Amino acid sequence: MAGQQAAGRAGPDAGRLAALTGRERDAYAAAHPRSRQAFADSGASLLGGVPMTWMAEWAGGFPLHLYLLNRGILITPFHNMALMCPDTAADVDAHTEVFAAAAAELAA
């Protein structure tokens, strides 16, 4: 069943996940201060500070989205999908490599 751990397998370390998420948020905010300010200002004109109200319900603040972005991979989070528009096979390979590194880091 979704959300349940396999027998004999430990679940994710919540403290480690929180630390990794915080690290990625901080790195993105430091690299993109204008984006941070735009997000802060958006609450005045957008319901919940987002263009579509379901966006305010995204879990975890997009740690994977930020992890990839901090490493030069741009994806568009959309519901339960991650959309990307690669120009070349090398773009796909780069995405796959960075995604694998994220998964390995989270699993460590």
DSSP 25-85: HHHHHHH-HHHHHHHHHHTTTSGGGSSSGGGGG-GGG-HHHHHHHTTT---EEETTEEE--
Does residue 103 fall inside a structural domain?
Answer: yes
What six digits make up the tokens of 105?
Answer: 């880091």
CA distance 42 to 48: 8
Please give the Cα distance from 88 to 3 (Å, whole number): 35
| Structural domain contains residue 47 | yes
* Domain boundaries, position 85: 14-107
Local structure of 10: helix, strand or coil: coil
Domain count of the fold of the chain: 1
Q: Could you state, in chain order, the average pLDDT of each consecutive group of 10 residues for the chain (108 residues)?
A: 54 82 85 78 70 58 72 76 82 89 80
Would you say residue 25 lies in a domain? Answer: yes
| Structure-block tokens of residue 63 | 């740690």
Q: Please tell me the predicted confidence (pLDDT) of residue 62.
A: 53
Whether residue 56 is contained in a domain is answered as yes
Instruction: Confirm whether pTM is higher than 0.85.
Output: no
